[in-house]
Amino acid sequence: MKIALGTDHAGFQLKEKVKELLGSLGHEVKDFGTFSEESVDYPLFIRPAAEAVARGECDRAIVFGGSGNGEAMAANKVRGIRCALCWNEEVARLSRQHNDANVLSLGQRVIPQEIALAVVRIWLTTNFEGGRHAKRIAELEP
């Protein structure tokens, strides 16, 4: 898969760890930044990652911040994006199975790194079940 990454300064360290994991799993990564812990405005990096998915340039995206809340909100403003804020493996699994989430949001300040990496693994390998959920999701598209 080709996966877009975007973060602000508060999620930078976790983004770097996830980037390593994705590479070790054989995924292609497009990193939209930021590239340091210097303070930045998150929408400048989150929106381009989400837009890459919406345009079909990337299969999915993972975005990062301190809590992940603002990042999920910014990503979800992009038409065609279904960004899920996940904090454990079960929420990640359900976000894919039931909601067909194409963007994952993680908060570096609120989730231990080991759990975050496990969340990423589950989110990448869980398929959408479709069925009645697919129809309902399609109805929500503007």
Q: Are 42 and 67 in contact (CB under 8 A)?
A: no
Q: Is 98 a catalytic residue?
A: yes
Out of 71, 89, 129, 141, the active site residue is 71
Measured distance CA(62)–CA(13) in Å, rounded: 14
Out of 98, 114, 139, 141, the active site residue is 98
Task: For the sheet with 103-107, list strands across it.
Answer: 28-31, 2-7, 60-65, 103-107, 83-85
Token reading at 115: 């759990």
DSSP type of residue 82? -
Strand partners, 5: 31, 62
Q: Are 103 and 59 in contact (CB under 8 A)?
A: no
Of the candidates 45, 60, 37, which has an alpha carbon nearest to the alpha carbon of residue 6?
45
Give catalytic residue positions: 71, 98
